[in-house]
Every structure is written in C-alpha cells, then in structure tokens.
C-alpha cells in the first residue's frame, strides 16, 4: 500500500511551544503508522498581516503561494493550534487568510483547502486543552474556507506537564485520543490518494 503524504505544522513559532511539541509527536506517530510526513515551521513562511490594499498593489506574498503549493502536494494536513483568548493565533489566522486568496486560473477558489483532509489538535496549559480555540478554528476551516476536517481532535490539557521525557503523552486519555486521531487521519488521507497531486 502506498503512503499518504501528510503535512504537519504548529500555529505557534515560539521556541519551546507546547503546540510545536504536539506537532512533533503527531508527525512521529503518523510516520510510525505508515504516512509520509513533512514537518514545517511557519517561521519559514513569514507573511505580512493581511491587507487588501497591499494585496491589490503587490499581490499575495510569495510565501503564501509556496505554502499553498506545498499543502497541495499532501493528502492530509495536521495543524497544532494554540489557543489565544479562546481563539486562533494571529499567526495561523493570517496564514489561513492569505492562502485563501491563492488559486490558479484552472482551480476552484481557496484551492489549498479542497481535495484533502484536515485534522486539528491543541496543547494548552489550561485544564481544557485548548478545545475552545479548536472549535473556533474548525468553524473557520469548514464554513470559512470549505475544508473537510475530521471529527477526531487531540486536546492536551495541562501542557506543561503533559509530555513525558521521550515526547509522548503522559495522560492516558490524551494518548488514546491521539491514537484515534492518527488512525482516522491516515485512513481519510489514504482515501484521497488518487485525487491529490
């Protein structure tokens, strides 16, 4: 069986970010379960804050086009999404918004979000594990940009103590929901292997 390609990144570029650790763990587990994983940092795709005037005068930033094309080379995308004030981070929202503006003439609008499947997770120092931010992000992806998002999510509460020394999840419930999400993401990404480039 061929291996679905899955892109993994975090909505925070902060050094030591709990969500970057979560992204790293998810990438590792996806790899162990047969996916071909590309892990990136949004730090390598800097973009100015979205501004319609800027877009009119200079077009979409090159990094948005590059990231859009990279997404299109994958059958699945996992986003580790930090929660800032019950919502999505400005860094991640800005990336999603710029990418929503990029389509080739032959493509549907918001092309990066079509033809592949998305999965979400969050790590948070709060006892809720960032679930409010995830609900917000799900809405943006689904009703805003038309992405297909699997229902399985991984929410890691009390993130400062959540990872064991090897980078795994100490909490059994979180570990079980991680495994369920990994299985579902790989199954759904595999379904799309004939469709995506």
**Which residue from 49, 66, 139, 170 is in contact with other proteins, where contact means CB under 8 A?**
139
176 belongs to the binding site for other proteins (CB under 8 A): no
Within the chain, residue ranges assigned H as helices are 18-32, 52-58, 62-72, 90-99, 131-139, 172-191
Taking the complex as a whole, how short is the minimal distance between the CB of residue 111 and other proteins, in angstroms?
14
Count of all residues that appear for the chain in the document: 197
**Which residue from 149, 178, 182, 185 is in contact with other proteins, where contact means CB under 8 A?**
149
HSE value, Cβ hemisphere, 13 Å, CA-based, for 16? 1
150 belongs to the binding site for other proteins (CB under 8 A): yes
Q: End-to-end distance of the chain based on CA atoms, in angstroms?
A: 17
CA–CA separation, 142 vs 76, rounded Å? 15
Taking the complex as a whole, how short is the minimal distance between the CB of residue 191 and other proteins, in angstroms?
5
Q: Which stretch binds other proteins (CB under 8 A): 13-21, 56-64, 90-98, 138-146?
A: 138-146
**Nearer Cβ to other proteins (70/148):** 148
**Nearer Cβ to other proteins (13/149):** 149
Residues 50-74 as b or e (16 or more Cβ within 10 Å = b): beeeeeeeeebbebbbebbebbbeb
138 belongs to the binding site for other proteins (CB under 8 A): yes
DSSP state of 197: -
Taking the complex as a whole, how short is the minimal distance between the CB of residue 12 and other proteins, in angstroms?
22
**Nearer Cβ to other proteins (15/143):** 143
CB 89 within 8 A of CB 17: no
Taking the complex as a whole, how short is the minimal distance between the CB of residue 167 and other proteins, in angstroms?
27
141 belongs to the binding site for other proteins (CB under 8 A): yes
The residues of the shown chain that bind other proteins, judged by CB under 8 A, are 131, 135, 138-139, 141-143, 146-153, 191
């Amino acid at each position: 069986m061929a291996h679905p390609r899955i892109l993994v990144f975090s909505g925070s570029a902060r050094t030591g970010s709990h969500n970057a650790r979560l992204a790293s763990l998810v990438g590792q587990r996806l790899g162990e379960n047969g996916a071909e994983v590309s892990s990136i940092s949004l730090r390598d795709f800097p973009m100015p804050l979205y501004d319609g005037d800027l877009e009119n005068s200079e077009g979409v930033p090159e990094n948005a086009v590059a990231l859009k094309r990279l997404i299109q080379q994958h059958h699945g995308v996992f986003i580790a999404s930090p929660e800032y004030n019950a919502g999505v981070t400005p860094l991640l929202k800005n990336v999603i918004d710029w990418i929503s503006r990029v389509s080739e003439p032959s493509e549907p609008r918001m092309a990066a979000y079509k033809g592949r499947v998305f999965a979400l997770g969050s790590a948070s120092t709060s006892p809720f594990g960032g679930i409010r931010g995830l609900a917000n992000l799900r809405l943006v992806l689904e009703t805003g940009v038309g992405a297909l998002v699997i229902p399985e999510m991984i929410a890691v509460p009390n993130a400062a103590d959540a990872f064991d020394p090897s980078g795994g999840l100490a909490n059994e419930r979180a570990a079980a929901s991680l495994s369920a999400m990994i299985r579902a993401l790989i199954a759904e990404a595999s379904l799309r292997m004939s469709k995506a480039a």
